[in-house]
Structure 1
Amino acid sequence: MKFPYYYRIKQFLNHYLGGLYKRADEHHIFLLGGSLAFSLFVCTIPLVLVIFFVLGIILEESYVRQQIVFFIDRIIPYSEYASFIKRIIFSRVSEIIAYKTLAGYVGVLGLLIAASGLFSTMRTALNTIFKGKGKKPSFAEKFKDFGIILLVLAFFLISTAILPTLEIIKDSAYKIEFLSFFRLSAVQKSLFSILAFLIIFLLFFALYYFLPHEKLSKRAAIISAFWGAILWEIAKQAFGYYITNLSSLGRIYGAYALIIVVAFWIYYSSLVFLLGAEIGQLYSERIRDISITGKSQP
């Protein structure tokens, strides 16, 4: 007696789970993740300077502080370590805003140099995963990298506009009756979670679709971005649980625990980004095989 659904499920799991296990070894995904994480670290300082420059021009210092709180809470979703870095940054906010023009020039120049290395690393990793042929760097590629940098910054600026708007709606919900729906804390948390997920999804999609030399189909890029965002959220929750309940980093490393936490989180995020790309490539290969054999569904 045959069980077609059993074999389909088995084939599906073998293709994706087995494929991920095999590709992780073939593509040296942990090594690629380490390279990507290091490049992200290098970009951090000039990016912070640019953010201070932009916010210092268009916003008051008090509002800049609010956005710093949001930005840090998004990157470091663990209150103990987030509070530590906030204290360090807030002690220098006034000085940075006072010299925001110089900080902006230095930040933009540093970001262009650092981001060029970051996106070259990303492109190399994605070309390996998507089996794209490497090309010699050109002015067009550098210009493309700059466009992606602007795209990433645009996502940040959008988030600084949308999330304060949601805060206004939340505060107004207790004064305006037809906004009473937003008084529920569960709804508020869901809105912020959905918004954060969408931002990560769109950012991953843009990187998967535009960055590699090998053109990925939009559907495969969407699959990659969706699973990348899902895995990123799972990693965030799991790592947050570990830090909150199981970790003794604070007792071992003291104030330097923040650096350890951020390092692990950036490395995890890099691995998640690469795993999402692997899933998209496996999906593309499965679709191609199906189009040839016509025997199964993805």
Structure 2
Amino acid sequence: MKSLRAALLRSPHIAWRTVIKFFADNGQFLASGIAFDLLLYCIPFSLLFISALGYALGGDPTQALSVVQDVFRQFLPATHKAFTQNLSTVLDNRGLLGFLGFALLFLMSSITFGSIRISLNTVFQVRNPPGFVLGKAKDVLVMLVVTALLVLMIGLISLLALAKSFGSRFAILETLLLPGAALASTLLGFVFTFSIFYLLYRFSPRETLVRPALLVASLTGAGLFEISKAAFIWYVKLLQSNSELYGSFAGLAFFLLWIYYACVVLIVGAEVGWILQQEMRSSEAKTQN
């Protein structure tokens, strides 16, 4: 704890070293690779989730659309409209699309989590990465855990969306439930985002960080992710006056930028954790001497 406290007192120095190491590791290109693969992963995952939701809600398209829109708002601030406008078509064809989503999910997940593993190995300076078979097996295991966590989070957000939908029918319940539901949704989003960052930093790379650095890295990633959501909302509103230049591609362009921002945050959080670990080891060495 003393080494952690001493390292945290050097936060400005850690921040500066993080910036230097981010560019030394070509973090912007690592984030680009993850963003591209993550985009491929999101397509079958979204199709599978929407199809399963349509069946879970008894085929009621109104409830399904409401729940899906709330989930998209949690992850895609100010850009969800580009993807929720045509969801009714997806729900109408959920049988075929669900089958395709299930088939493609495992293929795309192996590619996506493989990119995350390789990128984190680069950031953590892993000298002996695992072999191909062991690496892919680890990718599938991490994918299953992260997907289960996402499904759990989406389920809880869906319950909150249903509670808000029910409460909006009654004036008294709407006054009582809506503020609490909004706060609960924000807290759940942060907790699950922290959990996803922790799982990725802990299990994806061959060598992980010590626990204090791992917790700080996960908190940094989750905090930057929430801050970037607010910043991205402001950024999109700033560019809305120029949206005519993009036409129907504006929503897609904003979505791609958001995916890239999220992947940059993933790399930055890992860099912070690694730099903090080095500072802790340096403090321990000075104490022993």
- TM-score bucket (shorter structure): 0.7 to 0.9
Please, which moves more after superposition, 229-238 or 59-68?
59-68
1:125 aligns with 2:119: yes
Q: Provide, for residues 192-216 of structure 1, a one-character-per-residue CA deviation record: whole Å limited to 9, x for no partner.
A: 1111111111011000000001122
Q: What is the CA–CA distance in structure 2 between the aligned matches of 1:50 and 1:267, rounded to whole Å? A: 23
Instruction: Give 1:55's aligned residue.
Output: 53
Q: Which runs of 5+ in 2 are unaligned?
A: 1-5
Which secondary structure state, in structure 2, belongs to the residue aligned with residue 294 of structure 1? helix
* TM-score, normalization by structure 2: 0.86
Q: 1:174 to 1:117 in 2, by over 3 A?
A: closer
Aligned to 2:219: 226
1:37: Cα distance to partner?
0.7
One-letter code of the match for 1:128?
Answer: T
The counterpart of 1:137, out of the listed 131, 136, 144, is 131
Which residue pairs with 1:270 in the alignment?
263
Offset of 1:9 from its aligned partner? Answer: 9.8
Q: Which residue in the other structure is 1:108 paired with?
A: 102
Q: Is the 8 A contact 1:209 1:217 kept in 2?
A: no
TM-score for the superposition, normalised by structure 1: 0.83
Closer, same or farther: CA 188–46 of 1 in aligned 2, 3 Å: closer
Give how far 1:52 is off.
3.0
Query: What amino acid maps onto 2:233 in structure 1?
Result: G
1:289 positional shift:
0.9
Q: 1:205-244 maps to which residues of 2 (within 5 A)?
A: 205-244=198-237
Shift of the 245–281 alpha-carbon distance from structure 1 to 2, 3 Å rule, reads: same
Shift of 1:290: 1.1
- Partner in structure 2 of residue 71 of structure 1: 71
Following the alignment from structure 1 to structure 2, what is the Cα–Cα distance between the partners of residues 181 and 94? 31
In structure 2, relative to structure 1, the CA distance for the partners of 1:256 and 1:208 (3 Å cut) is same
Q: Across the two proteins, how many residue pairs are aligned to each other?
A: 279
1:282: Cα distance to partner? 1.1
1:247-262 pair list within 5 angstroms: 247-262=240-255
Contact 1:123-1:212 within 8 A present in 2 as well: yes
Matches of 2:175 and 2:206, distance apart in 1: 45
Root mean square deviation of aligned Cα: 2.7
Counterpart of 2:184 in structure 1 is 191
How far 1:243 moved relative to its partner?
A: 1.0
Query: Aligned to 2:160, which of 152, 160, 166?
Result: 166
Q: Measured at CA, do residues 165 and 72 of structure 1 come closer, stay the same or move farther in structure 2, by a change above 3 Å?
A: closer
Q: Give the SS at the match of 2:10.
A: helix
1:152 aligns with 2:150: no
Amino acid at match of 1:270: C
2:85 is the counterpart of 1:87: yes
Q: Which residue of 2 aligns with 1:293?
A: 286
Structure 1: where are the runs of 5+ without partners?
Answer: 1-7
For residue 142 of structure 2, what is the amino acid of its counterpart? I
Deviation at 1:244, TM superposition (A): 1.5
Letter paired with 1:39 = D
CA displacement 1:221-277 (0-9 Å, x = unmatched): 211110101101111101101211344341110110011100100000000010000
Distance 2:99 2:158 in 1: 27
| Offset of residue 168 of structure 1 | 5.7
In 1: Cα distance, 2:106 partner to 2:148 partner: 15
| Structure of greater Rg | 1
Separation in 1 of the partners of 2:120 and 2:286? 27
Letter of the structure 2 residue corresponding to residue 144 of structure 1: K
Deviation at 1:158, TM superposition (A): 1.2
Deviations 1:47-72 (A, max 9, x none): 12221343244332324323321222
Is residue 281 of structure 1 aligned with residue 274 of structure 2?
yes
SS at match of 1:213: coil
Structure 1 runs, 4 residues or longer, greater than 4 Å off: 8-11, 167-175
| Counterpart-to-counterpart distance in 2, 1:188 and 1:58 | 22
